[in-house]
Amino acid sequence: MSSTDAAAVDVEGLSVRYGPIVALDDVSLTLRRGTVCGLIGMNGSGKSTLFKAMMGLQRADSGRVTIGGLDPAAARRRGIVGYVPQAEAVDWSFPVSVRDVVMTGRYGRMGPMRRARDTDRAAVADALARVELTELADRQIGQLSGGQRKRAFVARGIAQGAEILLLDEPFAGVDKRSEATMSGLLTDLAAGGATVLIATHDLHALPSLADEAVLLLRRVLLHGPVEEVLAPHNLARAFGVDPLDHGSRT
Amino acid sequence: MNPLDLLTEPLSYGFMIRALVTTAVAAAVCALLSCWLVLIGWSLMGDAVSHAVLPGVVLAYVLGLPFAIGAVVFGFLAVGLIGAIRDTSRVKEDAAIGIVFTTLFALGLVLISVTPSQTDLNHIVFGNVLGVSVVDVVQVVGLGAVVVAVLLHKRRDLVLYAFDPGHAHAIGLSPRRLGALLLGLLALTAVVALQVVGVILVVAMLILPGATAHLLTDRFSRMLVVAPILSVVCATVGLYLSYWIDAAPGGLVVVSQGAVFSAVYLFGPRHGLLGRLRNARTDRAAGPGSDITDARRARR
């Protein structure tokens, strides 16, 4: 088991290049347990690359990532990291039900045929109840609204028992009421000890939700309390266009 | 003539019974695999691999090895070459696929033309289901059983791979290994099906049943039942038609699968074109925000 005082996420001097393009440059970042952190940056700022590195999907050119005191491969085997993909990355016509999707959160704990036992079914039912999707559990996944779809994937992370939840643009295409439901849900999860990292360029939901935020533009420009990071002069550093800086993208 | 004779007369010939068994087994195996292929978006890859196995099969014949070995080797070779060209040049993936599979297929044709053989190797290209031997039947059934067993054993992992490989990776599975497994099964299935329809038309049996089933149901587990049933029925109808109208059996198998797809595409109860157009019209007539509209949207 990872020791309780180890940071939930510890990134040290992480650099990732795609050929000549620098996606991440010497990124260091420590997240404590039970925090909700916003990861703010425009498209191409390296948010997705940082997520991939935390999931062990992206090889680092230098530096390292530690998840709950473990290297990403060991963390993966324990199912510590849960992931909520952005809407465009999912095939919503795929013939799976909401319950099927949440059940895949349990696969790491099942035998090779992934046959659900009673404990798995109970965990899935609990997760669906927490995100208030119990009544819609047998719908095909694409028949949910934007906000419900996001909650289904959060439920997958809950069923998985993920200690760290990575969310990619969870508020895109989500109405105000669903956004509030989602915010309440994520805050509750963090209160229960989970660490929540939300990549977004949609900032208005963050102040009521996040404890802290990170401004990313291939490097960490600023990591601090959310009010400070969202101050206009700081945001200008992440979103302002530097005329000398073009051609870089993730 | 007694209508029953339409069904029973062909069965008085041993070659028709062997053809029916081979066709039904190949149709069922292809249909199962096609459920994954159409959802992952591997139709073009199925086309590529099924063509690219040709030189492997011919070489296996020359060397006296089982066809399956040659097919799997060349199936992976094709996928490796496609990836290499895509990643190390400015050529895009669809062009890389087109280059690799046509070149390998052409190489297979050249090898056939220079290989002296007892049997006509051109049967590999066009299929020769009416001429399969008992040994062929045994091979098709054996390979088919292996593919089906592996697919069903790994079915949930493969569905997850198709739906969200990122999550599969995050919980410690290996998307790369699952993809390679599926490719191996694809190459084996190509060997099973080329006996019936030949290398050129294998891809039809690898796409049509899954695509048709996807239009009929929102449950993957039902696709796994619907696709093989449709596929086997179409294949049997195609074979009987070929007996009675004396036309190419492989072609008729695929034409009947295509006909069923067209019917489902147009008239399918859930996702058929006509049904959707009619729903859209009543939605407009009922106006936005009406109960009918909302209820229907919720159901869809």
Domain annotation covers residue A122: no
Interface-testing mutation among B218, B270, B297, with chain A (most A C-beta atoms within 10 A): B218
Is residue B291 pLDDT above 60, yes or no? Answer: no
Q: What is the pLDDT of residue B116?
A: 82
- Asked if the C-beta of A148 comes within 8 angstroms of chain B's C-beta atoms, the answer is no
CB contact under 8 A, A94 and B172: no
pLDDT, position A202 = 75
pLDDT tops 50 at residue A2: no
Evaluate if residue A249 carries a pLDDT over 80: no
Domain presence at residue A112: no
**Maximum distance among all Cα pairs of chain B, rounded to whole angstroms:** 73
Give the DSSP letter string of A46-94.
SHHHHHHHHTT-S--SEEEEEETTB-HHHHHHTT-EEEE--GGGS-TTS
Q: Which of A106, A1, A11 is nearest to A52 (CA)?
A: A11
A229 is a domain residue = yes
Q: In this predicted model, which residue has the larger pLDDT, A232 or A107?
A: A107
Read off the pLDDT of residues B208-249 as tens digits, 9 standing for 90 and up.
999 999 999 999 999 999 999 999 999 999 999 999 999 999
Do β-strands A164-168 and A81-84 pair in parallel, antiparallel, or remain unpaired?
parallel
If you search the block for the tokens 């799997």, which residue do you land on? B72
Whether A43 is covered by a domain: the verdict is yes
How many percent of chain B have pLDDT more than 70? 93
State which residues form the domain around A56.
Answer: 1-80+168-175+201-241
Which pLDDT belongs to residue A56? 85
Which residues pair with residue B95 across a beta bridge? Answer: none
Instruction: Encode pLDDT of B130-149 as tens digits.
Output: 888 898 899 899 999 999 99
Chain A's closest residue to B298, CA to CA, is A143
Inter-chain Cβ pairs, chain A and chain B, closer than 8 A: 74
Predicted local distance difference test score (pLDDT) of residue B223 = 97
User: What pLDDT sits at residue B286?
Assistant: 58
pLDDT at position A208 over 50: yes
| pLDDT of the residue at B234 | 96
Q: Which residues of B touch A (CB under 8 A)?
A: 39, 153, 156-157, 159-160, 162-164, 166-173, 214, 217-220, 222-223, 298, 300
Cα of B192 to nearest chain A Cα, Å: 25
pLDDT at A203: 85
Between the ranges A42-46, B2-6, B168-172, where is the mean pLDDT highest? B168-172
Contact across the interface for B220 and A57, Cβ inside 8 Å: no
Arithmetic mean of pLDDT over chain B:
89
Q: What pLDDT, on a 0 to 100 scale, did the predictor assign at position A141? A: 96
The Cα–Cα gap between A135 and B108 comes to 56
The ipTM estimated for the assembled molecules is 0.90
Q: Which residue of B164, B174, B270, B294 to mutate against A (max A Cβ within 10 Å)?
A: B164
Classify A82 in phi/psi space as left (phi over 0), alpha (psi -120 to 50) or beta.
beta
Chain-centre distance for alpha carbon A38: 10
Q: What is the mean pLDDT of chain A?
A: 90
Higher local confidence (pLDDT), B119 or A139: A139
For residue B209, the model assigns a pLDDT of 97
Given this model, what pLDDT does residue A248 score?
A: 45
Q: Does A81 touch chain B (CB under 8 A)?
A: yes
Do A94 and B163 touch, CB atoms closer than 8 A? yes
CA distances from A235 to A30, A169, A207, A239 (A): 21, 18, 14, 6
Residue A73 in domain = yes
pLDDT band of B283, cuts 50, 70, 90: low
Q: Enumerate the residues of chain B whose CB falls inside 8 A of the CB of residue A76.
A: 169-172
- What pLDDT is attached to residue B233? 97
Say if CB B210 and CB B221 are below 8 A apart. Answer: no
Indicate whether B251 pLDDT > 70. Answer: yes
A24 bridge partner residues: A16
pLDDT digits (tens, 9 = 90+) for B49-70: 999 999 999 999 899 988 889 9
Q: Residue A3: its pLDDT value, please?
A: 45
In a domain, A160, yes or no: no
Distance in angstroms (rounded) separating the CA atoms of residues B138 and B125: 20
Q: Has residue A145 been placed in a domain?
A: no
**pLDDT exceeds cutoff 50 at A176:** yes
Q: Going from the N-terminus, what domains does chain B have, and what CATH number goes with each? A: 8-203 (1.10.3470.10)
pLDDT at residue A241, as a whole number: 52
Q: Is the pLDDT of residue A8 over 50?
A: yes
Q: Which residues pair with A29 in a beta bridge?
A: A11
The arithmetic mean of pLDDT across residues A234-245, rounded, is 67
Q: How much is the pLDDT for B118? A: 66
> What pairs with residue A165 in β-bridges?
A82, A196
Whole-number pLDDT of residue A34: 94
3 state SS of A9: strand
CA pair distance B108, B138, nearest whole angstrom: 25
Percent residues over pLDDT 90 in chain B: 68
Contact at CB, A107 and B220, closer than 8 angstroms: no
A40 sits in which H/E element: strand A36-40
B169 → closest Cβ in A76, A94, A160: A76
- Comparing CB atoms, the residue among A83, A85, A114 nearest residue B156 is A114
Residue B6 has pLDDT above 90, yes or no: no
Decide if A40 contacts A229 (C-beta within 8 A).
yes
Contact list in A for residue B170 (CB cut-off 8 A) is 55, 76, 79, 81-83
Is A75 part of any domain?
yes
* pLDDT tens-digit map of B114-133: 988 766 778 888 888 888 88
Chain B, nearest residue to A141 by Cα: B218
Instruction: Report the distance separating Cα A56 and Cα A71, nearest Å.
Output: 9
Look at B39 and A83 and tell me if their CB atoms are within 8 Å: no
Q: Which residues of A25-50 are buried (b: 16+ CB within 10 A; e: fewer)?
A: bebebebebbbbbbbbbeeebbbbbb
For residue A150, the model assigns a pLDDT of 95
Closest B-chain CA to A162: B171
Distance CA B7, CA B20 (A): 12
Measured distance CA(A7)–CA(A5) in Å, rounded? 6
Q: Per-residue pLDDT averaged across B268-273, rounded?
A: 86
Torsion angle (degrees, nearest 10) of CA A203, A184, A81, A153:
-90
Tally of structural domains, chain A: 1
pLDDT value of position B294: 42
Bridge pairing between strands A21-31 and A62-67? unpaired
CATH number at residue A11: 3.40.50.300
- Give the list of residues 6+ apart from residue A208 with CB closer than 8 angstroms, or none: A183
